[in-house]
Amino acid sequence: ILSYSLARPARESLFTVVSREEKYKAKIFLDTVVQRIGDTLAAAAFQALVPALGFGPSGMAAACVPVCALWAAVAYRLGRRQQKLA
């Protein structure tokens, strides 16, 4: 619920500067391909890295901090790009 209530409005705000056709094509791609592949890769990475590194859930969370920083940088760049286009 938290992810849906925060991520969806943020994603919708990025579509304010594109045409309706581009918006719906991108949304279909994001909802089906990107979301599902991301979930699958995250689960596979967890299953592969936990035994290999010997981390528990908290160790994996700490190891994922750089990935979170990367996603924050991507989100910042997308937001700046959206402001520029608006």
Q: How many domains does the chain have?
A: 1
Q: Which residue would you say has higher pLDDT here, 17 or 71?
A: 71
How confident is residue 13, by pLDDT bands cut at 50, 70 and 90? confident
Cα 71 to chain centroid distance, Å, stands at 7
pLDDT value of position 62? 85
Q: What is the extent of the structural domain holding 34?
A: 1-85
pLDDT of residue 69: 94
Nearest CA to 30 among 18, 43, 12? 12
* Number of CB atoms found within 10 A of residue 24's CB: 12
The first and second tokens of residue 63, run together, are 């190891």
pLDDT of residue 46: 82
Average pLDDT over residues 27-44: 85
38-81: pLDDT as tens digits: 889 888 888 887 888 887 778 888 888 998 899 899 989 988 98
The pLDDT, as a whole number, for residue 30 is 81
Cβ(75)–Cβ(13) under 8 Å? no
- Please give the pLDDT value at position 52: 82
